[in-house]
Amino acid sequence: MPVSIVVGGQYGSEGKGKVALALARQERGEAVVVRVGGPNSGHTGYDRSGRRWVLRQLPVAAVDGVRLIVLPAGSYIDPDLLLEEIASLGLAPEDVAISPQARVITSGHIDHEVNSKINQSIGSTATGTGAAVVAAIQRGAPDAGPAAVFAKNDDRLKPYVKSTIDLLRQALDEGRRVIIEGTQGFGLSPLHSPHWPNVTSRDTSAAGFLSEAGLAPTDVDDVTLVLRCWPIRVSGNSGPLEAETDWETISRESGAHIDLHEFTSVTKKLRRVGRFEFDIAKQAIAVNMPTRIVLNHLDHVDWRCHDGALTSAARKFIHFVERGLNRNVNWVGTGVDSFVELGQLSAVRA
């Protein structure tokens, strides 16, 4: 071992990509980065020049030119989107490894979801990911909808298809850290969320991500649970959000001089926002047993934190969360690309 898993503790958009990128940078270019799941969620990161990237197929650490990027068997791939991201980042076939067993999202999968109106009924992004998951489960049953397609059978992906199990095991044998960037949030798990059917199509726990990556439980020495100060859900009928509020209130209370409205990276629709929920976060802790907890978007509590300093209001909020969870917070995110490690705090403002 060493394997790190980054998992969201709420309903997605907690900042998992930002955290995975920070963990990869600690490894000074030696990490292997893994992205599981499909393109139904976008992860944001900033490269070393400050350019903002929103990636839906590749892990965010790809923006730093890591040596190996892996899309394992638990990946659902829109080839056009993936190849666009690969080209944008200037990656070569030797930089990217796709499992032969990774599933391809076809136009038939996308059409199936759009025609089902699942985006209206439960707030799905209708990217075809869920339909591709169903196709895999149906195992070729007659009249079961669009068929499953493997990456090994898609000519567009063949330059990248390799044994990801062998590559990951080799990396671990060499002592390199593998970082698994999970997608969406624990509150969207079809197994563990109390809000079914307003969930996603795959398990979103650390154990689920590990299985999708093709690695063993004994490989893991680090599980990072990422939380938002104010959790979000996607727009529409996407499920309950405790103490739901609005972005005008969040902006005003934080003292921000800019509009803090957030839009989903896939559908470009206004996100819903609510107050911190302890129940779902406690369940996420119980199931994932994190070694590190990250509390992101502290600048949405007090805008003066966006440059890395912690104010008294920010400290009070951290203590409020810690008391409610009965767990320490280890890192706090204070801006789009910055963290403060508690115990190594910058100057505190009144």
Q: What is the pLDDT of residues 43-84, one digit of tens each?
A: 999 998 889 999 999 999 899 877 799 999 999 999 999 999
**Assessment of whether the complete model's pTM goes beyond 0.85:** yes
pLDDT of residue 347: 36
Quick: pLDDT tens for 171-182. Answer: 999 999 999 999
Contact 11, 281 (CB under 8 A): no
CA distance 18 to 79: 24
pLDDT at 346: 41
Q: Reduce the DSSP state of residue 149 to 3 states and report it.
A: coil
| Position with higher pLDDT, 214 vs 201 | 214
Residues 6+ apart with CB under 8 A from 235: 123, 264, 267, 269, 270, 271, 272
What percent of the chain clears pLDDT 90, i.e. is strictly above it? 66
CA gap 294, 18 in Å, rounded: 11
Query: What does 269-297 look like in DSSP terms, one character per residue?
Result: -BPEEE---HHHHHHHHHHH--SEEEEE-
* CATH number, domain containing residue 144: 3.40.440.10
Comparing 112 with 282, which gets the higher pLDDT?
A: 282
| Structural domains of the chain, count | 1
Q: Is the pLDDT of residue 38 over 80?
A: yes
Q: For the segment 291-310, what is each residue's pLDDT rounded down to a tens digit?
A: 999 999 999 999 998 767 78
Q: Are 64 and 21 in contact (CB under 8 A)?
A: yes
Predicted confidence (pLDDT) per residue in 81-106, tens digit: 999 999 999 999 999 999 999 999 98
Q: What is the DSSP string of 43-85?
A: EEEE-TT--EEEESSS-GGGGGT-SEEEE-TTBEE-HHHHHHH
Question: Contact, 214 vs 73, CB < 8 A?
Answer: yes
* Torsion 199-205-210-211 (CA) sign: negative
Q: What average pLDDT does the structure give for the chain?
A: 89
Q: Which residues are catalytic?
A: 13
Section 140-153 average pLDDT:
83
Question: Domain span at residue 210?
Answer: 3-349
In this prediction, residue 350 carries a pLDDT of: 31
Per-residue pLDDT for 205 more than 80?
Answer: yes
Task: Identify the pLDDT of residue 135.
Answer: 81
Predicted confidence at residue 121, as pLDDT, reads 54
* Paired strand residues for 222: 4
How many whole angstroms separate alpha carbon 105 and alpha carbon 175?
Answer: 34
Average pLDDT over residues 127-134: 82
pLDDT confidence of residue 114: 73
